[in-house]
Structures are given as structure tokens and as C-alpha cells.
């Protein structure tokens, strides 16, 4: 029994370092670092390069990786990215870290290349020493993990509790604004926090690599498992996060004593442990009404916080009120769809096949248009719903002989309740919980379903034929485009409908919406259900396009890339989804074919950087380009803008004060815009 | 006052239960008592003012009355029925609408869309679901809806900005829009949190006229938090005064105006112009000295 506990403590220690790092970074910076896995991979890859490829010793490799490279990486990322996010909305912060998680690993691989063998040595010398503890054996890697956790806790708690630096960090957590007024530079403290955060991420990555492999996927799985402890800690309690992480690790291993891990049930239950923990804590907090996105900082921080800059918000404000049926964006959409319609005739079989897959992915991306663009939420399980649609429709075709298109639509209907239940569990807890839970759910389903036979089938999955009337690439591209257009029209209908108005209301002011009689949960669950259906249909089409389900293509890490691509193009535009889908598939191939095979990941890096650019251009590339073109047309024709862009007419009540147009600065706070500033407590009574 | 004493009272024959009533409402945030044992009632077609210095607990009481905050103890009744545990949506369905101290607008929606949404939430709530299936999002609005929205746009002078997104509206327009949105909900009780803030004197008078007319013509009851004391005393049938979370006075405007506790705590020298002049003279003398 003791040996199971000791082995479990090893896994739990890695979870604990990851969870502790996520909690410390969140409370100290207000940013939940979804790029933790990417940072862990980057540092671990650098360590591997020094240790294995350059032949350095363990100690110098570890010292340089953890105390030079990792802090430098953290500080660099703070300087170029995180410091710009300090006052941004939760959605922008999440999206920027998603962008980083997408861009960073391929950037590292561009320089250092992905190692062919993902089994990497840890911090202990090879061959591994074995020690006897109370009659049980532990190896040197496990010992290194325990020591790692103890050092992190002793140094971390000591620094935070007993030093001047710790005092400043804790002051920053309580109120950044007041801390800066007292003469402390929040920037300098945050710089240190991010340096420490990158070091902890790197330590977790290096410790994890020997058992789970040196890959982005394994690091993402670690991060999503650690989310369970973070949720249990309600994002803030370091001791609780560490304790739950350790218990999770021990439980996972102790179960092996009672349940054969190679049995059917054992194989299912083991990877599900983090999700089960998360589910239990979610239910516990939800029933006690204790969870929810916490408002960080003091009254002054809330008063100056930037609620704008949210990709869905800004694009909605800049273009959302134009509800005429024939408007410039509709005309642009017709032109883009027309161009895509003409493309199959101009491309050879290979490229038209890629185009068809790109359009299929665009269908799945429309789910983000709904859930992020309209609903203002970050769901990280859309790719899992797509995978579910692919697997289920393939099963309907294989086992029941259904017509493929019917199978795709019916499978999508069956997937909808999954999204609705996830929504009901998480939505009332806030945006951050939605992101954490959906990513963990995605990892769970990937492990439990997609990577298990008969669905996995050595990575090729199950066959998924195309409908008889569209077996060629060109015909299938047309079919996919037709379905895309139908779904896009449905989304436009949603946007223009009463439900669309209610969604906008909920996104901008939940209190305002509630007092109008709108149910916030019902509205968000509605959009989540629609998005789940759309994602599942997209998944079915991706499988039909590939001729097989290819379960690996629905990995949650890939879902982050999908989201980054879509947000880069425009979170609220159907046409952006079409362009994003086509570019996601075709651009790497263009680079591989016409530039260099080694540069195939460049587009992925660009998409990640595009998502990072949200802080500057929240409306996305497509909408931004459209706005620029419209401005140019107006300038040339000398026409004035629509109502939304003209100044408030003279004589408008309260217009005597300074008024700026929304387009002047899309990141203006509601308070500075003179509207919708929400002071949740401590306001003038 | 204990909760047990505040059991719902059935309206006696011939008397109507207040449209909205707070009995013994207490709200604690940790050690801070924001409201302590507050009683308040708003009768049919009554205008009731709620005043008090900053930090008196007025907005907290509004949050309790509208269902956004559960009281630590005490009850809230609408038409004699206990609604303490019901959601803001349920209270909205019973005819409660409110505005906020900091306008809670939906930035991407146009001014007109705010009113359309509020109107539909009252008169066609099922459209949240049915519009998705029957594509009414592409159809023009029903005539009755257009007519009601036009009336509100006109009466609150929102015509020039009706197609603008709410983002970027000046504070005064935002306040009027919130009032219009609340009225589009065709409420029976309307809670107004500082409706005149951001408006000039003429606009304030016009808003006051609109509010009086909705009370007079549509039978709406008003509960109003307002810093413009003269506006409250001039409009209200009854006024309640809060200070440090405790109700220190309540009665007709004349009674409240005379109440020494009120004058000490809040109104003070503000409405006693000679006293203000005396104070100013003293300050002036001090500066000269």
C-alpha cells in the first residue's frame, strides 16, 4: 500500500507544483495562465537540449534552464504581453494566453526541433537509483519530485510570508492601484511573479517528462489535470490547491491496488480521477453558492478596470448594431463565399481536398462564433464536441448503415445534451470556470473515448464515407459550403432574433438583463447548446472529408489552435470563420510546398501571435480590414458614417460633457465611455 | 425587529397591500451592516423617495428589493406576497423594474433595441425560443411593438439617438435610456436609482414630468433614490431617510423636512438657506482673518 501512496505522491507533487504555480500567478497577476503547458514544454525542451543534445551535466542544465532561461522567458513574456493585460477583461486575458500557448511550442520547435524520442530524462541521473523507504521502493525521479515540491513550498511560502517582496506581492493581490499609490511598482513585482511562474512551469515540465513524455500534449494533459486542484482551491487558496493535487495523485495510484489498471474499468477510471475531483468540488461549491469569478482588487481597481477590449464585445459594439439585411458586411460575405465557391474549379484534386477539409473546419469554427462571439464565453471543448460528432456519426454509419449526412445531423443532436449539461454546471460560476472545466472535460473525453479502441484504431479511427452524391473533393467542398452557408444564416437569424438581443444583454450587463426578466443561465445555455450542435456537425464533416475519424485531430491542444485562428480572424464574423477554416488547413501546406518543409508550423505561430494581438485589435483581422475598407470608401466618396459612428447630436440629454466615438479607442472602459460602469460594492449609496 | 413579527399580512377588505414592502431588512457584509432592520412600503400609484448621505445603504436596499441581493434577515413583499427568496426575473415578471446608479446598458444594442427587448420580455417572452425557428429575426416588428417603442422614444426625447449603440452615450442619455427601458417593461413598481444624475435642470424637470405622468396615467408606483433633495421632496408622497444603514425618519416630505434627526444627519443646513449663508459668511470671515 505504501508503495502506491509514495508513487501517487510523486504524481501528486507534479500536479501540486502546476496547480500552485497557476494559483500564485492568478492571485498575483489576475491572469489565469492557459499557456502554462506551453511554458512547461518550452523550458523542459530547453533542458533536454542542454542535457541530451549538448551533453551538459544535470546540475548545470537544470540551473541554466530553471534559473536563467525560465525567468528570462517569464520576464520577456511579461514585457511583451502580460503587462498589457493587467486591466483587461477575463475573456481577453484568456484569449491572449491561448494565443501564447499556440505560438510558443512551434516557436521553440522552430529553433530546437521536436525530439524524435519523447522519453526524456528528469532531474535524476540515469540509470535511476532506487531507495527503500519503510519497506517500499521509490526511484530517484520520484525523490526528485518530492524534493522539488518541498523546495517550492518552503521557498514560496517563506518568500510570500516572511519577506518584503512577499508583502508587496500580497499587497498587489489586494489592490494593485493602492499598492502603486504607496510607491511600489506593480510592474516590477509582476515581473518577478512571471519569472517565478515560468520557473515553476519549467520545473513541472522537467519532472513530468520522464513518465509522460516531452510533448505539448502531455503538458496540456498535466495542466488540465491540475485545473481540478485549482477549481477545488476556488482559484485562490494555495494550501488547498496543493493538498487536493497530492490527494488526486495518491488516489490515482492507490486505485491501482484495488482495480487492475489494464482492465476495462481501470483504464477508464484512472484518467478520469482529476475530472471526478473537479466535478465533486464544482457541485459542492455550486450547491453552497460559493463559487463564481471573484472580483479581484479593491474598489479603486474595479473603478479603473478595463471591461472593454473583449473580442466579442468590441466587434459587437463596432458593428453589431447594424441589423439591416443588406449591409456592407453581408455584401462582403457574399463576395467571399463566391470566391470560395469558384475555388474548387480552379484547384487540382489535392488542393480541392484540402479546401473541402478547410470548409468543414470552418463549420466547426462557427461554434466559436456562437459561443465566444455571441455568448462571450471561452469554451475549450468545442473540438471535443466536433470529435464526438465525428466518432458518433461514424458509428451510426458503420453499425446501422445510416446515410452519412443524416448520421452527422443525428449525431450532432445527440451531442447537444453534453454541451447543455456542461453549461448548466459551469456557466453560473463564471467565464474562468467555463474555460477550465471545458478543457479538462476535453482531455478526459480524448483519453476515455478518442484514444480507445475501437474508436482509435491505431490513430486512423473508423471510416466515415462521404454521401454518395458528393464523393469527389469538388462536390464535397460544395456540400460543405452549402451547409456552412445554411448555418451562417441561422447564426445571423440568432443574432437578429429576440434570443440574440437577450444574449447581447446578458453579455454586457447580467444585472441589467436579470431585472428585465432575462434568465442569464438559460440564455447562455441556449447559445452553448446551439454551439455544441454546430461543432458536432463540423466534426462530422471533417471526418467525411478525411474519409476517417482520425481521433488525434480532435486533441484539446488542437482546439486551442482552432480558437486562436478564429479569434485572429474575428470572433463574431461568420465570414471570418470561413476564412479561418480554409487558412488553418491550407496555409501550413502552402508553406510546406512553396517555402520549406521545416516552416510548416509558421502559420500556426502566426495564428497564435494573432490571438496575442487581441489586446490591440479585439475585432479581429477580417472585421478590422472591413472597417478600414469602409473608412477608405467613405473618405473617397465623402460620405458620413452610419448612426453608430456619428457624434451624439447636439441637444441630446447629457451631451454637454465630452463624448468620444467608440471607434476612437475600442478598449475604452465603460466608465470612461460614460456608461455601464459597474461598481459591485462600495459605490456611492 | 424580528422576522417573526413580519409575517405576511393579508390585505384587509377594503385596503390594498403595498405594491412593494420591506420589513425588517438587514444586510451584513461580514462586520459591516449595510442595512439594519429597515421597513419601507410603496403603495399603489405612490411616489416614495429614499434619501440619505453617501454610504447610507440606499443602493444595497435597492439590490435587496429587486432581488439582486438576499437580505441577511427580513422579508420583501410584493402585493402582500413574500418574494424574499425569488429571483430578479420572477420579480420582473410580477411587475418590478429598476434603473441603476451606474447605468447597466447593453453596449452593442442600439437605444431602440433596448426598448424592443424590454417590451418583448413583457409581452412576447416566448420569442426568445420561437424566433430561432420561425426566422422572425428577419421580419419587421409587430405594429403594437413599434407604436409603444415610438411613444417611449418620443416621450424621453431619444429620437435623435435611437439607432446608436448604447456604448458611448453620455451619462444623461444613458439615464433616460434606462428609464425608457424600465418603462417599456410596463412595470407596476419602478425603482429609480438617482434618475437625475447627469441631467441639467431642464432635463431633470422633463424627466420628473414623465415620471409623474406614468404614475398618474399608468398607475405605476415609484421608489426613488435621489441626491437632488428638492426633487425628491417636491415629487414624493412619502420620504424615507437612511443613515448608516438605519432608517432614521419616514413620513411626508413636510414631516421629513422638519425632522431634526434628518437635518442633523443629512439635510442639515442644505435646505436652510439662511444657515448656509451664515456658514459661508463665517468661512469668508475666517479666510479674511
Q: Searching chain B, which residue's CA lies closest to the CA of residue A664? A: B168
Q: Number of CB pairs < 8 Å for A and B?
A: 228
Characterize the bridge pairing of strands B246-251 and B238-243: antiparallel
Q: Which grid coordinates belong to B107?
A: 453596449
Q: Across the interface, which of A323, A492, A653 has its CB nearest the CB of B176?
A: A653
| Residues B168, A523: C-beta atoms closer than 8 Å | no
Find the closest chain B residue to A319 by CA distance: B108
What CATH number labels A308-637?
1.10.3470
How many angstroms separate the CA of residue A180 from the nearest CA in chain B? 26
Distance from CA of A649 to the nearest CA of B (A): 7
DSSP-assigned letters across all residues of A620-675: -HHHHHHHHHHHHHHHHHT----GGGSPPPTT-TTTTS----GGG-TT--TTTTTS
Q: B222 phi and psi, to 5 degrees?
A: -120, 135
Cβ-based neighbours of B218, under 8 Å, separated by 6 or more:
B186
Cβ contact B173–A654 (<8 Å): yes
Q: Are A1 and A8 in contact (CB under 8 A)?
A: no
Q: What is the pLDDT of residue B139?
A: 79
pLDDT tens for each residue of B62-91 = 999 999 889 999 999 999 999 998 999 999
More confident residue, B21 or A622: B21
pLDDT interval class at A685 (50, 70, 90): very low
Count of alpha carbons within 13 angstroms of residue A281, beta-carbon side: 23
Is residue A562's pLDDT more than 60?
yes
Say if the Cβ atoms of B168 and A494 lie within 8 Å. no
Per CB-CB distance under 8 Å, the chain A contacts of B96 are 515
- Domains parsed from chain B with CATH numbers: 4-103+186-284 (3.40.50.300), 106-168 (no CATH)
Please name the member of A317, A495, A526 whose beta carbon is closest to the beta carbon of B167: A317
Q: Find the helix or strand (DSSP H, E) in which B98 lies.
A: strand B96-98
Determine whether the interchain pair A516/B203 forms a contact, defined as Cβ–Cβ distance below 8 Å: no
Task: State whether A652 and B29 contact (CB < 8 Å).
Answer: no
Q: Cβ–Cβ of B101/A655 closer than 8 Å? A: no
ipTM of the complex: 0.82
What percentage of chain B exceeds 70 in pLDDT? 86
Contacts of A657 in chain B (CB under 8 A): 170-171
Determine, for residues B169 and A505 on separate chains, whether the beta-carbon distance falls below 8 Å.
no
All residues of chain B having their beta carbon less than 8 Å from the beta carbon of residue A644 are 110, 163-165
Can you tell me which residue has the cell 513518465? A211
Percent of chain A's residues with pLDDT above 70: 83
Structure confidence by residue, pLDDT tens digits, A369-383: 999 888 888 899 999
- Please write the tens of the pLDDT for every residue from A402-448: 999 999 999 999 999 999 999 988 887 888 888 888 988 998 899 88
Closest-CA distance, A681 to chain B, in angstroms, reads: 9
First to last CA, chain B: 52
User: What pLDDT shows up at residue A291?
Assistant: 52
- Interchain pair A511, B122: CB under 8 A: no
Cell of A554: 480532435
Contact assignment for A661 to B168 by CB distance below 8 Å? yes
Q: A2-265: which CATH architecture?
A: Orthogonal Bundle (1.10)
Q: Per mean pLDDT, which range of A155-169, A309-323, A453-467, B139-153 is the poorest?
A: A309-323
- Report which listed range, A123-137, A277-291, B14-28, is most confident: B14-28
Best of A428, A526, A678, A685 to substitute, by most chain B Cβ atoms within 10 angstroms, is A685
Give the per-residue pLDDT at A271. 80
A529 to chain B, minimum CA–CA distance in Å? 13
Q: Which residue of B has its CA nearest to A654?
A: B172
A75-84, A242-251, A354-363, A663-672: which range is least confident on average?
A: A663-672
> Do strands B189-193 and B221-225 pair parallel, antiparallel, or not at all (unpaired)?
parallel
Measured between beta carbons, the chain A residues lying within 8 angstroms of B93 are 517
**pLDDT band at A650, cuts 50/70/90?**
low
Tracing cell 451510426 back to the chain, one arrives at: A396
pLDDT in tens, B199-231: 888 888 888 888 888 888 888 999 999 888 888
Q: According to CATH, where is 1.10.3470 located in chain A? A: 2-265, 308-637
Task: Choose the closest CB to B128 out of A320, A499, A655.
Answer: A499
Confidence grade of residue A320 (pLDDT, cut at 50, 70, 90): very low
DSSP A212-274: H-SSHHHHHHHHHHHHHHHHHTTTT-HHHHHHHHHHHHHHHHHHHHHS-TTSHHHHHHHHHHH
Q: Which of A498, A518, A648 sits opposite B161 (nearest CB)?
A: A648
**Coil, strand or helix: which one is B79?**
coil
Mean pLDDT, chain A, integer = 81
Residues 465-484 of A with CB under 8 A from B: none
Q: How confident is the model at residue A584, as a pLDDT?
A: 92
CA pair distance A136, A116, nearest whole angstrom: 34
Q: CB distance B171–A673 less than 8 Å?
A: no
Q: What is the pLDDT, as a whole number, of residue A640?
A: 53
Q: Looking at the complex, does the CB of residue A651 fall below 8 Å from at least one CB of chain B?
A: yes
Contact B168 A502 (CB under 8 A): no
CA distance, residue A316 to nearest chain B CA (Å) = 5
- Name residue, grid cell 458503420: A398
Of A496, A504, A513, the CB nearest to B138: A496
* Among candidates B105, B128, B203 on the partner chain, residue whose Cβ is nearest the Cβ of A508: B105
Considering only CB atoms, which chain A residues are within 8 Å of B112?
none
Q: Of B135, B99, B95, B177, nearest to A500 (Cα)?
A: B135
Residue in B96, B168, B198 nearest the CB of A662:
B168
Q: Tell me the HSE value of A247 on the side-chain side, using a 13 A CA sphere.
A: 12
> Minimal Cα distance from B131: which residue of A?
A497
**Of B29, B117, B135, Cβ closest to residue A505:** B117
Give the separation between CA A465 and CA A482, rounded to whole angstroms: 18
Task: Give A651's contacts in chain B (Cβ within 8 Å).
Answer: 160
- A492 touches B at CB < 8 Å: yes
| Per-residue pLDDT at A665 | 31
Query: Which residue is it, cell 437605444?
Result: B111
State the cell numbers at A662. 467608440
**Which residues does residue B239 pair with via DSSP β-bridges, in sequence order?**
B49, B251
Chain A residue closest in CA terms to B98:
A515
> Which residues does chain A have within 8 Å of residue B142's beta carbon, measured at their own beta carbons?
none
Write out chain A residues lying below 8 Å of B122, CB-based.
Answer: 517
**Mean pLDDT computed over every residue of chain B:** 82
A313 touches chain B (CB under 8 A): yes
A673/B contact by beta carbon, under 8 A: yes
User: Scanning the structure block, which residue is given the C-alpha cell 483587461?
Assistant: A88
Which pLDDT score is estimated for A174? 65
CA dihedral (B186, B188, B192, B195) in degrees, to 10, reads 50
Closest to A290 in 3D by CA, of A282, A299, A280: A282
- Is the distance from CB of A43 to CB of A66 less than 8 angstroms? yes
d(CA A581, CA B73): 55
- Give how far A618 is from chain B: nearest CA, Å: 14
Closest CA of chain B from A662, distance in Å: 6
Q: Which residues of B touch A509 (CB under 8 A)?
A: 104-106
pLDDT value of position A211? 83
How many Cβ atoms sit within 10 Å of the Cβ of residue A653? Answer: 28
Q: Tell me the shortest Cα–Cα distance from B130 to chain A, in angstroms.
A: 9
Least confident of A74-83, A123-132, A539-548: A123-132
DSSP track, A471-492? -SHHHHHHHHHHHHHHHHHHHH
Cα–Cα distance for residue pair B65/B71, rounded to 1 Å: 9
Q: Which residues of A422-437 are buried (b: 16+ CB within 10 A; e: fewer)?
A: bbebbbbbbbbbbbbb
Mean pLDDT along residues A467-493: 94
Chain A segment 518-557 residues within 8 A of B by beta carbon are 518-519, 523, 526
Q: Cβ separation of B105 and A512 shorter than 8 Å?
A: yes
The pair phi, psi for residue A326, each rounded to 5°, is -100, 95
Note whether A320 contacts B: Cβ–Cβ < 8 A: yes
Grid cell listed for B178: 434606462
Please name the residue of chain A whose CA is at the shortest distance from the CA of residue B226.
A685
Distance CA A531, CA A526 (A): 9
- Residue of chain A whose Cα is closest to the Cα of B99: A512
| Structure confidence at residue A638 (pLDDT) | 66
Contact between chains at B104 and A676 (C-beta distance less than 8 A)? yes
Note the pLDDT of residue A175.
65
Closest by Cα among A678, A655, A501, A619 to B111 = A501
In the stretch 432-471 of chain A, residues with CB closer than 8 A to chain B read: none
DSSP output for B226-262: -S-HHHHHHH-SEEEEEETTEEEEEE-HHHHHH-HHH
Tens digits of residue pLDDT in A283-314: 887 777 655 544 444 444 444 444 444 544 44
Amino acid at each position: 500500500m505504501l508503495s502506491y501512496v509514495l508513487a501517487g505522491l510523486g504524481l501528486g507533487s507534479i500536479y501540486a507544483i502546476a496547480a500552485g504555480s497557476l494559483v500564485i500567478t492568478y492571485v498575483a497577476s489576475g491572469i489565469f495562465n492557459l499557456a502554462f503547458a506551453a511554458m512547461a514544454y518550452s523550458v523542459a525542451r530547453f533542458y533536454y537540449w542542454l542535457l541530451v543534445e549538448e551533453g551538459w551535466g544535470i546540475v548545470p542544465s537544470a540551473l541554466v534552464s530553471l534559473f536563467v532561461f525560465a525567468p528570462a522567458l517569464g520576464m520577456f513574456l511579461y514585457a511583451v504581453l502580460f503587462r498589457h493585460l493587467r486591466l483587461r477583461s477575463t475573456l481577453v486575458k484568456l484569449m491572449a494566453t491561448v494565443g501564447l500557448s499556440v505560438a510558443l511550442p512551434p516557436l521553440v520547435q522552430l529553433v530546437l526541433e521536436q525530439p524524435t524520442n519523447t522519453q526524456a530524462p528528469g532531474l535524476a541521473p540515469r540509470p535511476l537509483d532506487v531507495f527503500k523507504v519503510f519497506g517500499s521502493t521509490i526511484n530517484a525521479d520520484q525523490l526528485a519530485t518530492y524534493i522539488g515540491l518541498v523546495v517550492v513550498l518552503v521557498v514560496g511560502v517563506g518568500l510570500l510570508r516572511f519577506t518584503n517582496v512577499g508583502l508587496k506581492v500580497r499587497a498587489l493581490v489586494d489592490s494593485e492601484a493602492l499598492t502603486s499609490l504607496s510607491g511600489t511598482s506593480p510592474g516590477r513585482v509582476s515581473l518577478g511573479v512571471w519569472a517565478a511562474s515560468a520557473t515553476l512551469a519549467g520545473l513541472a515540465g522537467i519532472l513530468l517528462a520522464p513518465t509522460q513524455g516531452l510533448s505539448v500534449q502531455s503538458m496540456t494533459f498535466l495542466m488540465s489535470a491540475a485545473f481540478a486542484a485549482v477549481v477545488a482551491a476556488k482559484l485562490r487558496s494555495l494550501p488547498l490547491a496543493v493538498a487536493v493535487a497530492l490527494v488526486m495523485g495518491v488516489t490515482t495510484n492507490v486505485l491501482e491496488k484495488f482495480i487492475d489498471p489494464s482492465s476495462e474499468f481501470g483504464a477508464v477510471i484512472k484518467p478520469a480521477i482529476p475530472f471526478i475531483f473537479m466535478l465533486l468540488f464544482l457541485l459542492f461549491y455550486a450547491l453552497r453558492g460559493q463559487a463564481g469569478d471573484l472580483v479581484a482588487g479593491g474598489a479603486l481597481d474595479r473603478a479603473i478596470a478595463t471591461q472593454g477590449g473583449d473580442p466579442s464585445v468590441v466587434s459587437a459594439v463596432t458593428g453589431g448594431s447594424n441589423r439591416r439585411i443588406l449591409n456592407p458586411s453581408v455584401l462582403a460575405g457574399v463576395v467571399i463565399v463566391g470566391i470560395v465557391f469558384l475555388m474548387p474549379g480552379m484547384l487540382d484534386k489535392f488542393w480541392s481536398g484540402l479546401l473541402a477539409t478547410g470548409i468543414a473546419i470552418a463549420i466547426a469554427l462557427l461554434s466559436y462564433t456562437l459561443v465566444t462571439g455571441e455568448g462571450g464565453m471561452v469554451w475549450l471543448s468545442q473540438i471535443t464536441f466536433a470529435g464526438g460528432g465525428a466518432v458518433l456519426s461514424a458509428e451510426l454509419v458503420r453499425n446501422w448503415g445510416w446515410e452519412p449526412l443524416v448520421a452527422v445531423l443525428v449525431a450532432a443532436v445527440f451531442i447537444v445534451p453534453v454541451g447543455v449539461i456542461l453549461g448548466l454546471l459551469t456557466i453560473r460560476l463564471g467565464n474562468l470556470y467555463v474555460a477550465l472545466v471545458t478543457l479538462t472535460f476535453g482531455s478526459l473525453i480524448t483519453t476515455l473515448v478518442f484514444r480507445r479502441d475501437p474508436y482509435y484504431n491505431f490513430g486512423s479511427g473508423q471510416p466515415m464515407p462521404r454521401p454518395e452524391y458528393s464523393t469527389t473533393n469538388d462536390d464535397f467542398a460544395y456540400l460543405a459550403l452549402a451547409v456552412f452557408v445554411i448555418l451562417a444564416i441561422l447564426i445571423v437569424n440568432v443574432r437578429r432574433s429576440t434570443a440574440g438581443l437577450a444574449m447581447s444583454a446578458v453579455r454586457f450587463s447580467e444585472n441589467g438583463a436579470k431585472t428585465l426578466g432575462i434568465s442569464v443561465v438559460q440564455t447562455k445555455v441556449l447559445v452553448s447548446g446551439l454551439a455544441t450542435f454546430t461543432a458536432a456537425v463540423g466534426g462530422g464533416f471533417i471526418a467525411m472529408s478525411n474519409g476517417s475519424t482520425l481521433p488525434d485531430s480532435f486533441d484539446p491542444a488542437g482546439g486551442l489552435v482552432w480558437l486562436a485562428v478564429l479569434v485572429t480572424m474575428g470572433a463574431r464574423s461568420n465570414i471570418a470563420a470561413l476564412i479561418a477554416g480554409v487558412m488553418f488547413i491550407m496555409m501550413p501546406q502552402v508553406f510546406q510546398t512553396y517555402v520549406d518543409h521545416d516552416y510548416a508550423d509558421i502559420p500556426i505561430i502566426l495564428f497564435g501571435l494573432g490571438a496575442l494581438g487581441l489586446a490591440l485589435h479585439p475585432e479581429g483581422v477580417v472585421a478590422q480590414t472591413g472597417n478600414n475598407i469602409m473608412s477608405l470608401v467613405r473618405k473617397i466618396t465623402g460620405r458620413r458614417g452610419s448612426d453608430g459612428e456619428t457624434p451624439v447630436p447636439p441637444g441630446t440629454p447629457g451631451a454637454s460633457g465630452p463624448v468620444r466615438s467608440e471607434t476612437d479607442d475600442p478598449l475604452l472602459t465603460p466608465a470612461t465611455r460614460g456608461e455601464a460602469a459597474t461598481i459591485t460594492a462600495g459605490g456611492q449609496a | 425587529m424580528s422576522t417573526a413579527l413580519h409575517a405576511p399580512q393579508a390585505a384587509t377588505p377594503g385596503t390594498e397591500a403595498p405594491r412593494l414592502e420591506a420589513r425588517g431588512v438587514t444586510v451584513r457584509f461580514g462586520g459591516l451592516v449595510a442595512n439594519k432592520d429597515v421597513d419601507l412600503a410603496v403603495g399603489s400609484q405612490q411616489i416614495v423617495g429614499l434619501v440619505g448621505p453617501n454610504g447610507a445603504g440606499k443602493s444595497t436596499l435597492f439590490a435587496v428589493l429587486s432581488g439582486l441581493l438576499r437580505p441577511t434577515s427580513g422579508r420583501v413583499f410584493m402585493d402582500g406576497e413574500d418574494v424574499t427568496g425569488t429571483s430578479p426575473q420572477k420579480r420582473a415578471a410580477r411587475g418590478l423594474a429598476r434603473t441603476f446608479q451606474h447605468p447597466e446598458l447593453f453596449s452593442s444594442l442600439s437605444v431602440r433595441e433596448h426598448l424592443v427587448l424590454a417590451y418583448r420580455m413583457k409581452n412576447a417572452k416566448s420569442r426568445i425560443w420561437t424566433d430561432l425557428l420561425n426566422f422572425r429575426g428577419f421580419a419587421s416588428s409587430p405594429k403594437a411593438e413599434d407604436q409603444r417603442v415610438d411613444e417611449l422614444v418620443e416621450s424621453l426625447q431619444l429620437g435623435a439617438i435611437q439607432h446608436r449603440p448604447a456604448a458611448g452615450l453620455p451619462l444623461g442619455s444613458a439615464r433616460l435610456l434606462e428609464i425608457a427601458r424600465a418603462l417599456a417593461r410596463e412595470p407596476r413598481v419602478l425603482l429609480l436609482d438617482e434618475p437625475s444624475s447627469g441631467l441639467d435642470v431642464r432635463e431633470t424637470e422633463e424627466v420628473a414630468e414623465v415620471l409623474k405622468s406614468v404614475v398618474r396615467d399608468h398607475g405605476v408606483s415609484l421608489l426613488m433614490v435621489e441626491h437632488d433633495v428638492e426633487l425628491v421632496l417636491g415629487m414624493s408622497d412619502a420620504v424615507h431617510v437612511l443613515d448608516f444603514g438605519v432608517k432614521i425618519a419616514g413620513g411626508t416630505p413636510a414631516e421629513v423636512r422638519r425632522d431634526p434627526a434628518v437635518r442633523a444627519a443629512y439635510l442639515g443646513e442644505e435646505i436652510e438657506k439662511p444657515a448656509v449663508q451664515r456658514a459661508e459668511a463665517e468661512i469668508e470671515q475666517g479666510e479674511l482673518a
